[in-house]
């Protein structure tokens, strides 16, 4: 399996990253070294094996669905580069 430049462009679109032409070449090469490494997983017969998505393969604690946190609205908004009143400012999303 290898990743070509067209697929890398799709990946960067999905991941919301920009690469220039030189970076695209370098990243393509480097990702293909890694995909060659991960190909090894195909050596094992896993057809009858259940995926293990998590080490806690058992019951996990539940909690009531209720608000337990204090509001940190002012402190959180203060972390934004651009905010106005109770709102974050972003470029126009809808035409």
Partner 1 sequence: MINLSLRELQQCLHKKQISVAELASVYLDRCHQYNPILNALVHIDADIKPDYLLAAQVSQGPLAGIPIIHKDLFSTQGVTTTAGSKMLANYVPPFNATVVSQLNQAGMVQLAKANMDEFAMGSSNEYSAFGAVKNPWDLQRVPGGSSGGSAAAVAARLAPVATASDTGGSIRQPAALCGVTGIKPSYGRVSRYGMVAFASSLDQGGVMAVSADDCALVLTAMMGHDAKDSTSIAADKWTWQAPEDASMKGLKVGVIPDWLEQLEDQDIKQSTLAALDTLVAQGAELVDVDLPHADLAVAAYYILAPAEASANLARFDGIRFGQQSDGKSDDVNDMYRKNRSAGFGAEVQRRIMLGTWALSSGYYDDYYCRAQRIRRLISEDFKQAFSQVDVMAVPVSPEVAFKHGTKSDGVSMYQADQFTIPASLAGLPCLSMPIQPARNLPVGLQLIGPYFNEQVILTTAAKYQLVTDYHQHMPEAFL
Residues in contact with partner 1 by CB under 8 A are 3, 7-8, 10-12, 14-19, 27, 30-31, 33-35, 37-44, 46, 49-56, 60-63, 68, 72, 75-76, 79-82, 88, 90-93
Q: Cα 8 to chain center, whole Å?
A: 15
Q: Which tokens sit at 34?
A: 């890694």
Cα 50 to Cα 58: distance, rounded to the nearest angstrom: 14
Cα 55 to Cα 35: distance, rounded to the nearest angstrom: 25
The CB-of-18 to partner 1 minimum distance in angstroms stands at 4
SS3 at position 23 = helix
The CB-of-57 to partner 1 minimum distance in angstroms stands at 8
The CB-of-92 to partner 1 minimum distance in angstroms stands at 7
The CB-of-59 to partner 1 minimum distance in angstroms stands at 9
* Largest distance between two CA atoms of the chain: 57
The residue among 41 and 85 lying less far from partner 1, judged by its C-beta, is 41
């Amino acid at each position: 399996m290898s990743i070509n430049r067209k697929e890398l462009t799709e990946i960067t679109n999905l991941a919301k990253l920009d690469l220039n032409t030189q970076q695209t070449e370098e990243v393509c090469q480097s990702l293909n070294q890694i995909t060659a490494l991960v190909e090894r997983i195909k050596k094992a017969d896993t057809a009858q094996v259940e995926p293990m998505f998590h080490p806690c393969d058992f019951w996990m604690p539940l909690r009531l669905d209720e608000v337990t946190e204090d509001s940190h609205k002012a402190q959180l908004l203060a972390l934004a580069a651009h905010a106005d009143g109770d709102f974050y400012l972003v470029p126009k999303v809808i035409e």
